[in-house]
Structure 1
Amino acid sequence: MTNTVRIAPNEGRNLRAARLRSLLEQKELVVAPCCYDALSAKLIEQAGFDMTFMSGFAASASRIGMPDLGLMSYGEVVDHVRNISEATSLPFVADGDTGYGNAMNVIRTVKGLARAGAAAVMIEDQVAPKRCGHTPGKAVVEREVAFDRIKAAVDAREEEDVLILARTDARKAHGLSEAIERAQCFFELGADIIFVEAPQSVEEMRQICEETPGLLMANMLEGGDTPILSHAELADMGFNIAAYPLTLLSAVMQQMVETLAAMKADTVQDSALMSFAEVRDRIGFEAYYEASEGYKA
């Protein structure tokens, strides 16, 4: 199907949203490593990527040290988004979960995350409290409730320029056909980006691309239900965004566990660590010192 970029009537108020639209118009596939805090977002930008995605799973682990089971509140998510937006100029997607209530809550969630700096907000059709899309026990709300959430998110876009990423988790409990039908309706309701979570084979991924209109996102979770494909394969299928929700968090956790074990055994090697000079530079010490030179008086 033809993938199109929707243009909001008030485009230009949110520069990140405008940048994300432009990015999606120009590239067949945009690779989005997911950040979990301000520092990870800063490093993603330094690595030369064009966008990022605030993973709810990773943010919950980083901020409160707890699983992604709807435990982070709306206020905590807004604060987290604000911190990320102040650390990077990249356009990014914020995970708005189920919207934290009814349709009116969805409107508040979308507007609040847009004002905090998000270029796009993801709203999903899971039962609250939600679960990670690749863990057991998740369920989705009835179609009417799901459609109300997306309609409310689109209505919020009229006041705050932001892209709406509509996600369905219906594949797990109701099959791929139900998931695709929901996704098609999400597009008809006005969602900018469509995300069918957890397809279980390459054939299912291909079917999603063939039958779902709009801009499409693939979720590349190592160890999850969905096959991990190359960027070229995803682009060839028709995906527009490839998100990597846990790659960075998993890498950091692995390195931390190994380093802590080495520290306990008193065997930490300098070669395993980033140099203190590079740490300072990447965090922004040198840029701060340079900027402060103009204020010596």
Structure 2
Amino acid sequence: MTSRHEQLRTLFANGFTTVGAYDPFTAKIAENHGYPATYIGSFSFELAGIAAPDMGLMTLTELATLVSRVSAVTTTPILCDVDTGFGGLNNIWRTVQVLEAAGASALQIEDQAFPKVCPILPGKSLVSIEEAAERISVASNARRDPNFMVIARSDADVVSVDELIRRSNRYLESGADAVLPMMLSYEGRPHTEADPAALRSAYIRLVKEIDGPVVALDTVPGMTSDEMLELGISFVLFPTAAIEAAFTAVEQLFASTQQTGRQETYFEQLGIIQDRMALMDAVGVNDFLSRAAGK
């Protein structure tokens, strides 16, 4: 039987897309929709798990608990974001071993200084390429199963595409199995303000000049995930869409209910029916009922 670690390596070899989950329920929904892996990112987890911004505030214990709970209810590989690794090199070593034991098949570690900040917030700074490479080397050597993957993220988009390429290749040489060169900034401007054709060309260059699998965070505006894969990207990730959608829906529901005194108004405006059974169907309620009946 193929392990989850092996499944993930096959996915990277063939190219794939997945979404971010922030709890076992969203992970289960993702699996139900055929997504071949589950991604647990710090942005979503810190918002949903501890009601805090993405600023490196989660703990290893909190993340490992979530990974274990997700692993228990899904069958697909789990990739998790560990920010800067929860401390020094010994902390990084322990992070790998704890998360691998909890059920993760890969972790993503970045080259920001501690405490990290979300790239859309001010105050981001990078460690030296030497320090970041040492993080990767320790993480790579800490894994028990050689199929467990280490993904190196570089936030050097604030410097240049050249620096992204330089750092990505150094991290691959240090033991990373894949790299995530962030592209939230391009030539000094947010990627949302950049020319999509220029961003597309930048990704083509990343794929060509980086000597290993490249992960893309979101897509170039106007492109689909399949089109990104056709450029040579190995893994297209939509890490925050689920929690963004949940936030929007709950904000609207609570505002509508407060205004009208009826929860039904929100659902009526959307033209949908409140279906609590659909929620339980998503987690396999009939299997639970059959077991309870001794069948």
Using structure 2 for the length normalisation, give the TM-score: 0.88
Partner of 1:209: 207
CA contact (8 A) 1:114 1:160 kept: no
Q: Which amino acid aligns with 2:12?
A: L
Give the superposed CA RMSD.
1.9
Q: Which amino acid aligns with 1:263?
A: T
Question: Any idea what the Cα deviations from partners look like across 1:215-271, whole Å, max 9, x if unmatched?
Answer: 1100017xxxx6462123211211010100111111111111111112112333354
Among the aligned pairs, what percent are the same residue? Answer: 29
Question: Any idea what the Cα deviations from partners look like across 1:21-64, whole Å, max 9, x if unmatched?
Answer: 12223x2x311111111110000001111112111100111101
Find 1:108's aligned residue among 94, 109, 117.
Answer: 94
Q: Which runs of 4+ in 1 moved over 6 A?
A: none
Number of positions where the alignment pairs a residue of Structure 1 with one of Structure 2: 276
Q: Which runs of 5+ in 1 are unaligned?
A: 1-11
Report the CA distance shift for 1:38/1:293 in structure 2 as closer, same or farther (over 3 A).
same
Report the CA distance shift for 1:274/1:21 in structure 2 as closer, same or farther (over 3 A).
farther
Within a 5 Å distance, the mapping from 1:215-230 to structure 2 comes to 215-220=213-218, 227=221, 229-230=223-224
Partner of 1:18: 6
Q: How far is 1:274 from its partner?
A: 4.5
Q: How far is 1:159 from its partner?
A: 5.5
In structure 2, how many angstroms separate the alpha carbons of the residues matched to 1:67 and 1:52? 21
Partner of 2:241: 247
Q: How far is 1:167 from its partner?
A: 0.7
Instruction: Give the secondary structure class of the aligned counterpart of 2:183.
Output: coil
Using structure 1 for the length normalisation, give the TM-score: 0.87
Instruction: Give the secondary structure class of the aligned counterpart of 2:150.
Output: strand
Q: In terms of mean alpha carbon deviation, does 277-286 or 256-265 score higher?
A: 277-286
Q: How far is 1:203 from its partner?
A: 2.5
Q: Which amino acid aligns with 1:294?
A: G
CA contact (8 A) 1:68 1:132 kept: yes
Question: Any idea what the Cα deviations from partners look like across 1:196-227, whole Å, max 9, x if unmatched?
Answer: 01253222222211110111100017xxxx64
In structure 1, how many angstroms separate the alpha carbons of the residues matched to 2:106 and 2:171? 15
Report the CA distance shift for 1:232/1:161 in structure 2 as closer, same or farther (over 3 A).
closer
CA contact (8 A) 1:30 1:242 kept: yes
In structure 2, how many angstroms separate the alpha carbons of the residues matched to 1:273 and 1:105? 48
Within a 5 Å distance, the mapping from 1:1-297 to structure 2 comes to 15-25=3-13, 27=14, 29-158=15-144, 161-172=147-158, 174-198=159-183, 200=186, 201-220=199-218, 227=221, 229-264=223-258, 265=260, 266=262, 267-269=265-267, 271-294=271-294
Q: Which amino acid aligns with 1:216?
A: V
CA contact (8 A) 1:36 1:62 kept: yes
Instruction: Give the secondary structure class of the aligned counterpart of 2:57.
Output: coil
Report the CA distance shift for 1:138/1:155 in structure 2 as closer, same or farther (over 3 A).
same
In structure 2, how many angstroms separate the alpha carbons of the residues matched to 1:62 and 1:244? 17
Q: How far is 1:132 from its partner?
A: 1.6
Q: How far is 1:163 from its partner?
A: 0.6
CA contact (8 A) 1:115 1:160 kept: no
Q: Which runs of 5+ in 2 are unaligned?
A: 187-198
In structure 1, how many angstroms separate the alpha carbons of the residues matched to 2:97 and 2:273? 41
Report the CA distance shift for 1:159/1:89 in structure 2 as closer, same or farther (over 3 A).
closer
Partner of 2:189: none
Partner of 1:3: none
In structure 1, how many angstroms separate the alpha carbons of the residues matched to 2:222 and 2:47? 23
Q: How far is 1:158 from its partner?
A: 4.4
In structure 2, how many angstroms separate the alpha carbons of the residues matched to 1:56 and 1:117? 17
